[in-house]
A and B are shown apart, each in its own frame.
Chain A
Amino acid sequence: MSTSPITETTSRVAFVTGAASGIGASVTRLLRASGYRVTGFDLRRGEADLNIIGDVTDPAGVAEAVAQTQERFGSLDVVVSVAGHYEMLPVDAISDADWLRMINVHLGGLTTLLRCALPGMLERRSGRIIAVTSELAIGGGDHDAHYATAKGSIIGFVRSLAVELAAKGVLVNAVAPGPCDTPLLAADSPWRDRAYLDTLPARRLANPEEIAVAVEFLASEASFCVGEVISINSGAVI
């Protein structure tokens, strides 16, 4: 049997969107602790090796940040698309602008990032792409139509891109968190109600560190995972 294709993680380079808080901040912390050099891209400054302020819906800003990363670190091995936007609305109250914003941040943010990062990965025939989707994309949720649609589109996109790129050395996978204890979840969110938490097999919210463990697995190991969506949702959807 030939040797294991599992790669060494030392001195690899990662680009994380939404890196300043919540899941993105945990991912940044864990990847750095695992030996990655990390660019954090967010609306505000985070704690990555290279912190770039910008918006994932701004293609020029993303392109500039990816270019800076490649210039600074000489490579880009892993992209993690975490930046997101969440709000709950009844379906008839979702305006065109609300729909567009959801799609632009999630599917637009991921595809813009890949237009910038993928050419270098394909050239080197090596790369890992990790998207953050949501349990709500799998199970749906009350007052979550636009969010679930945007996150659902990530799953279809990830699985298709995964098949297209696998033989070219680029592995594409996703993580689907359930309600997670992050700033995206308002203090008065119904997901924080004890009555709701008691319905969950885990009896608690997921925490961002757990999502980061899955992202690190997909970034560093998982060499036979293609188009996989890892659910960490406290058992909300099984």
Chain B
Amino acid sequence: MSRQVDRESLTLITGAAQGIGGATARHFDTLGARLALNDREASPALAALCAATDAVAAPADITSRDDIRSMIATLTSQHGPIGTLVCNAAYMTMAPFLEHEPGDWWKIIDTNAAGTLRVIQEVLPSMRSLGGGRIVVVCSYWGLTGWPDASAYAASKAGLISLVKTLGRELAPEGIVVNGIAPGVTATPQLEVDARAAGLSVAEMHRQYAAGIPLGRIAHADEIAAGIAFLADRRLGAMIGTVLNVNGGEVRARA
């Protein structure tokens, strides 16, 4: 494999303590990236992953502008500018639309859509100081298709797809390349949460999802990580505002 990610400036991954974010941290570490790993709080899991990947821990809640600002200020003053950003942090609960408590419904939008926007806004000066950068936003195929009982999550991810397209256009002239990835169902701790909520075993949850996937299985988190690294490849400057589908063939449509 000849993947060429940024090895000089800092790579910031949000929501990195577990799941797709954690797999992405480990994958970028093998590619030689200098990592800063964000999660909502300084958990033992985040500390362990930072130790394993020689990364800087960057805890911050992306629903708080102040938290993000102070995280970025600390990172850039101590470790230099951020050239690559992977926006992965997300929050999800599922419920039928009218039964979904409005505060929780809006927390999903505020975390996934607004939180991602805030992080990008605060990282842009860093990328501008470098004369360019790579931003990869983790969307979801549910943002394309919608999904029953996931109105807030699907809306937040659809919003991110539009954000990727818009910022792709807006920032490309500055050499800041923005793309997204739309994972299909992936084996992560979130899926275990969903299984519990649905009263199913994890194995049964996997089986139900796999039944709708032409490849016959759900994704491994490191398959999503490999897609994120591809989108962050420094050799690619003409791939702009795209959303890479990594869903085992469940959805074959242009995001």
Q: Which residues of B contact A227 (CB under 8 A)?
A: 214, 249, 252
Please, how many angstroms separate the alpha-carbon atoms of A159 and B184 in the complex?
16
Q: Does B227 reach chain A (CB closer than 8 Å)?
A: yes
Q: Does A63 reach chain B (CB closer than 8 Å)?
A: no
Please, how many angstroms separate the alpha-carbon atoms of A30 and B237 in the complex?
17
Shortest distance between the CB of A21 and any CB in chain B (Å): 19
- Number of residue pairs spanning A and B whose beta carbons lie under 8 angstroms apart: 135
Residue of B nearest to A201 (CB): B172
Please, how many angstroms separate the alpha-carbon atoms of A5 and B252 in the complex?
21
Tell me the chain B residues, 1-34 only, with Cβ under 8 Å from chain A.
1-2
B244 touches A230 (CB 8 A): yes
| Neighbour of B235 across the interface among A4, A210, A221, A229, CB < 8 A | A210
Q: Does A220 reach chain B (CB closer than 8 Å)?
A: yes
A228 touches B2 (CB 8 A): no
Shortest distance between the CB of A87 and any CB in chain B (Å): 23
* Partner-binding segment picked from B69-77, B148-156, B215-223: B215-223
Q: Which residues of B contact A1 (CB under 8 A)?
A: 187, 220-221
A224 touches B248 (CB 8 A): yes
A238 touches B215 (CB 8 A): no
Q: Does A234 reach chain B (CB closer than 8 Å)?
A: yes
* Partner-binding segment picked from A40-48, A98-106, A162-170: A162-170
Residue of A nearest to B4 (CB): A213
Please, how many angstroms separate the alpha-carbon atoms of A207 and B237 in the complex?
9
- The proximity string for B residues 212-253 relative to A, scoring 1 for CB distances below 8 Å and 0 otherwise, is 001110011111101100100101111111101111110010
Q: Is the interface of A mostly helix, strand, loop or mixed?
A: loop
A167 touches B214 (CB 8 A): yes
- The proximity string for A residues 76-91 relative to B, scoring 1 for CB distances below 8 Å and 0 otherwise, is 0000000000000000
Q: Which of A2, A162, A166 has the most CB of B within 10 A?
A: A166
Tell me the B residues contacting A by CB distance below 8 Å.
1-2, 165, 168-170, 172-173, 184, 187, 214-216, 219-224, 226-227, 230, 233, 235-242, 244-249, 252, 254
Known: A6-B226, A166-B215. 20 other contacts (CB 8 A): A1-B187, A9-B1, A163-B249, A201-B172, A201-B240, A202-B237, A205-B238, A210-B235, A210-B237, A217-B226, A217-B230, A221-B223, A224-B219, A224-B220, A224-B248, A225-B227, A226-B247, A230-B239, A235-B240, A238-B165
